[in-house]
Amino acid sequence: MVRWGELFNADGHDRRHRVQDEVRSLLPTRREHTPPSPIDAKAVTKVALRLKHQIEQVIPCELEPDLVTKAHSHIVTPAVIATSKQAGGKDHKACVVYCLLVVKKWFKQQALAELWDADLHDVRATAAEVIAKAIIESEEDTDYLMVDVLLKRYSILLDGEPTVPANAIERAVDLHALTVIGSSGYQRCISYLWRGWLVQDDEDPSRFVSYENKTNTDYWAHLDPDRMRVPRYQNALQIAFSVIFLALYTGAINTINPSGDLDIVEALLYIFSVGFICDETSKLWKIGRYYIGFWNVFNSALYAMLFTSFVLRMVAYAHAGDQDLRSHYNELSYNFLAFTAPMFWMRLLLYLDTFRFFGAMLVVLKVMMRESLIFFALLIVVLVGFLQAFIGMDLTDNSISDAGFVIQAMLNAIMQSPEFEGFDKFAPPFGIILYYIFTFVVMVILLNILIALYNSAYEDITENAIDEYMALFSAKTMQFVRAPDENVFIAPFNLIEMFFLILPFEWWMPTPRYNRLNDYVMGFIYSPLLMVTAFLETRQAHKVKYNRKRGEEDDDVQQEWEQVLNECDFEADGWDKKVQATKPNVELDTAVIEVRRLQSEVRELRELILEMRDRGSGGWGTETLKESSSRLGKLGGSSDSLEREE
C-alpha cells in the first residue's frame, strides 16, 4: 500500500499491481480473473451434503418453527451443533458455516419445488440458520472466526463446475438470513469491515487480513489514499455529496434567471448530475438487470427529469433571437426542475440508511412497495375490464367522445373521490350501474386489500426491526467491500477519472505508473477528508492499544458499570455463592425439573425396598429399622411437597 509520503517521493518504489476483487461482486460482474476457492469445490459440496442429511434426520417431520428457534431448544441441541461442527473434519471445519447457508438455500429451493412439503423444508432451512448462528457464537478465536469462517471464499459444484467463490458474509446477505446476520460474531465482522480494520490482501484478493496500522499512533501513517476504500469513509463522502447536491438544487431553483443565462450554481448542479448519471450507467452496464431496484429506478427518474431540464435550457439558448420562444423553453425547463424537488429530498434517505431510525423505516417502505405489486396487478386487470366496458358503451354512436371523462372519473374513484355526476346520462341505465360496481370493487375491496397488505408488512418488519436494520447495514457494507475499486472516485469525482485519467492515460501508460498517477490524483482531491480520517484513526489506534493492554477486544468500549468492576471480588465476599444457590434453571421448564427430581427419588425408593427385601430373611435390628424409617420419611416428605406444588 502506498503511503502519503511515497506519493511525493520521486524515488519511491512502484507499488504492486493488485488483482481486483470481483468475486460475487456487485461491481463488476464481468471478470477475467477470479481467485479460486482455498478448498476444493467437491469437498465443500460433500460437507454441505452431510449437513443436509443431518438436518433431514434431526427434523424428520413438520414442526413448529418456534421449537427450533427458541433458546435451549430440544430439537437443535448442543449435541446436534457439535455433530454439525464435525461435518468438515479437521481440514475443512472452517467452511461449515458457509455450507449451512448453502443448505438453507437448497431447502428454500426444495420448498418451492415441493409445495406439499413446503413447511417442512422451511423449518429445515430455519434449523440450518440456527445451527450456523450457534457455531458462530461458540467460536472463541475471533481472528479465526472472521478470517477463515466468515470471510474466506468457498465454491460448490453446480452442473459439474465450481460456482463463483463466495464467503459466509456475502451468502447471508444474499439469502437475507436474519438469524445468522443477527449473531454477535457476524456483526463484529461487519463492524471491522465497516471501520476498515479488515481489508483485502493485496497479494491474494480472496482473503482478508487485519489492517496493519490499526495500533499505529503515528498520524502520517494513516494519511493514505488507499483508506478511501474503507466503507465508512465512502459512505460519509456520499452523504456529503448528496447534501451538496441538494444545496446546489435549492440555490438553482430559488435563483431564477429571467434572462435565461446559466449561472455557476446551475452549472455545478448539472455537472453533479452528469457524474451521478455516469455512475449509475456504469453500474448498470457492469452488473446488468440484477442491479435494477427501487432506488435505481427512482434515481433514474430524477436524473431523466434533470436531463430534460438541461436539454430544454440548451434549446432556449438556441433561440437567442426569439425572446418569446426562449422565455417559453426557459420556463418549461424551470418547471421540470421544480417538479423534481420532492425527489431530491427523498433521495437523501438512500444515504441515511446507516442510521437506525431511517434504516428500519426504509425496510418497511421497501416491503410495502413489494406488497403493492399484488394490488396494482389486480387493479390493472379491473381497470382494463371496466374501461373496455365504458368505451364499448361510448362506441354505440360509432365515435369515442367521452373517453377523457371516463378515464378521469375512474382515476378519481381510485383516489377515493368518485364523481357520479354525468354517468346518469352515460348510456343509461348501464353507465351509472357499472360505475357504482367499479367504485365498490376499487374502494371497498381492492383498497382494503392494499391496507391489509401494508399492515401485514409493517407488523412483520417492526417485529424484527433490529434484525432487519442489521441486515440492511450488512448489505450496505458489502456493497463497498465485495468489489472495491482499485481507485476510488466517488461521483462526481468519477468525471475526473473518466476524462482526465482513463481516456488520456490508461490505454497506453504502464500499469504501475498509471496506479501511481491515480494515487497522486486521489491524494490531492481527497486531501481534506484524509486529514480528518487520519486524525480519527490516530485516536482510534490509541483506544485499540488501551483495550489490548486490558486484555479486551479491539472494539471494546468501557461502560460506566465496568469502571469499578475490577475492584469487586464476588467469590471472595461470598456473593457469587449466594447467587449460584438461588439462581433458577432457565434451560429447563419447572415441570421437567420436578419430574426429574421425582424420578431420582423413585429410583432411590426402589433401591431401598430391594435392600429391605434382601435383608428380610436375615432379620432386622433396631438400628437398621430406625435407618430405614428415617430414609422412608425423607422420601415421603419430598413426595408430599411435590404433590402440594403440583
Residue 188: what pLDDT?
A: 93
Which cell numbers in the block locate residue 176?
Answer: 437475507
* pLDDT, tens only, 553-564: 888 887 787 778
Co-location of 415 and 279 in the same domain: no
Co-location of 244 and 324 in the same domain: yes
**Domain boundary pick from 350, 384, 399:** 350
Residues 6+ apart with CB under 8 A from 564: none
Cα–Cα distance measured from residue 526 to residue 4, given in angstroms and rounded to the nearest whole number: 12
424484527: which residue's cell?
A: 464
Which neighbouring-strand residues pair with 162?
Answer: 157
* 140, part of any domain: yes
Co-location of 136 and 244 in the same domain: no
Residues 6+ apart with CB under 8 A from 200: 21, 207, 208, 209, 484
Residues 6+ apart with CB under 8 A from 177: 101, 104, 129, 132, 171
Co-location of 191 and 337 in the same domain: no
Count of residues in the chain: 646
**Domain boundary pick from 427, 449, 474:** 474
Cα–Cα distance measured from residue 41 to residue 164, given in angstroms and rounded to the nearest whole number: 10
What is the span of the domain harbouring residue 628? 590-645
Cα–Cα distance measured from residue 523 to residue 12, given in angstroms and rounded to the nearest whole number: 15
Co-location of 460 and 382 in the same domain: yes
Phi first, then psi, for residue 559 (nearest 5°) are -85, 170
Continuous H helices in 427-555: 430-440, 447-463, 465-481, 494-497, 511-525, 527-549
* 8, part of any domain: no
Cα–Cα distance measured from residue 461 to residue 262, given in angstroms and rounded to the nearest whole number: 46
Q: What is the mean pLDDT of residues 55-65?
A: 91
pLDDT of 107 above 60: yes
Which cell numbers in the block locate residue 181?
Answer: 446476520
pLDDT of 405 above 90: no
Dmax over CA atoms of the chain, in Å, equals: 133
Which cell numbers in the block locate residue 219?
Answer: 498520524
pLDDT of 5 above 70: no
Q: What percent of the chain has pLDDT over 70?
A: 87
pLDDT of 625 above 60: no
Give CA angle at 232 (229, 233), nearest 5°: 60
List Cα–Cα distances, 14 to 1, 18, 152, 511, 523, in angstroms. Answer: 10, 12, 29, 10, 16
End-to-end CA distance of the chain: 70
Cα–Cα distance measured from residue 264 to residue 259, given in angstroms and rounded to the nearest whole number: 15
* 460, part of any domain: yes
For residue 633, name the pLDDT band (cuts at 50, 70, 90): low
Co-location of 218 and 235 in the same domain: no
* pLDDT, tens only, 110-119: 999 999 999 9
Co-location of 297 and 401 in the same domain: no
* 17, part of any domain: no
List Cα–Cα distances, 142 to 188, 192, 214, 307, 542, in angstroms. Answer: 9, 11, 16, 50, 21
What stretch of H or E contains 484?
none
Co-location of 383 and 439 in the same domain: yes
Going by DSSP bridges, is the β-strand pair 198-200/157-158 parallel, antiparallel, or unpaired?
Answer: unpaired
pLDDT of 621 above 80: no
Cα–Cα distance measured from residue 163 to residue 23, given in angstroms and rounded to the nearest whole number: 10
Structural domain count of the chain: 4
* 492, part of any domain: no
Query: In this structure, are residues 167 and 153 in contact, taking their beta carbons and an 8 Å threshold?
Result: yes
Residue 1: what pLDDT?
A: 39
pLDDT of 331 above 60: yes
Cα–Cα distance measured from residue 43 to residue 45, given in angstroms and rounded to the nearest whole number: 5
Exposed e or buried b per residue across 179-217, where buried means at least 16 C-beta atoms within 10 angstroms of its C-beta: bbbbbebbebbbebbbbbbbbbeeeebbbbeebebbbbe
What stretch of H or E contains 135?
helix 118-138
Co-location of 412 and 336 in the same domain: no
DSSP-based three-state secondary structure for 157: strand
Cα–Cα distance measured from residue 27 to residue 233, given in angstroms and rounded to the nearest whole number: 18
Rg over CA atoms, the chain: 34
Residue 397: what pLDDT?
A: 58
What stretch of H or E contains 92?
none
Q: From the CB of residue 316, how many other CB atoms can be counted at a distance below 10 Å?
A: 21
Co-location of 322 and 278 in the same domain: yes
Query: In this structure, are residues 93 and 83 in contact, taking their beta carbons and an 8 Å threshold?
Result: no
* 15, part of any domain: no
**Amino acid identity at 542:** H
What stretch of H or E contains 132?
helix 118-138
DSSP for 185-209? HHHHHHHHHHHTSEEE-SS-TTSEE
DSSP for 555-567? T----GGGTTGGG
Co-location of 99 and 241 in the same domain: no
Residue 260: what pLDDT?
A: 64
DSSP-based three-state secondary structure for 9: coil
* 11, part of any domain: no
Continuous H helices in 294-446: 294-318, 323-339, 341-347, 356-394, 403-414, 430-440
* pLDDT, tens only, 133-180: 999 999 988 889 999 999 999 999 988 889 888 899 999 999 999 999
Co-location of 172 and 204 in the same domain: yes
DSSP for 162-177? EPPPB-HHHHHHHHT-
Please, which contacts does 72-80 make with residues 24 or more away whose CB atoms are closer than 8 Å?
Answer: 72/586, 72/587, 72/588, 73/130, 75/127, 76/127, 76/130, 76/131, 76/134, 80/54, 80/131
Q: Which residue has the higher pLDDT, 278 or 12?
A: 278
List Cα–Cα distances, 309 to 269, 342, 388, in angstroms. Answer: 11, 16, 36
Residue 128: what pLDDT?
A: 95
For residue 12, name the pLDDT band (cuts at 50, 70, 90): very low
DSSP for 225-278? GGGGGSHHHHHHHHHHHHHHHHHHHHHHHHS--TT----HHHHHHHHHHHHHHH
* pLDDT, tens only, 350-381: 888 888 888 878 888 878 887 788 888 888 99
* 68, part of any domain: yes
* pLDDT, tens only, 486-543: 678 888 998 998 999 988 988 888 888 988 898 899 989 999 999 999 999 999 998 9
Nearest one of 171, 191, 172, 170 to 180, comparing CA atoms: 172
**Domain boundary pick from 350, 384, 406:** 350
Q: From the CB of residue 409, how many other CB atoms can be counted at a distance below 10 Å?
A: 22
Chain centroid offset of residue 466 CA:
11
DSSP-based three-state secondary structure for 8: coil
What stretch of H or E contains 510?
none
* pLDDT, tens only, 39-56: 888 999 999 999 999 999
Q: What percent of the chain has pLDDT over 90?
A: 30
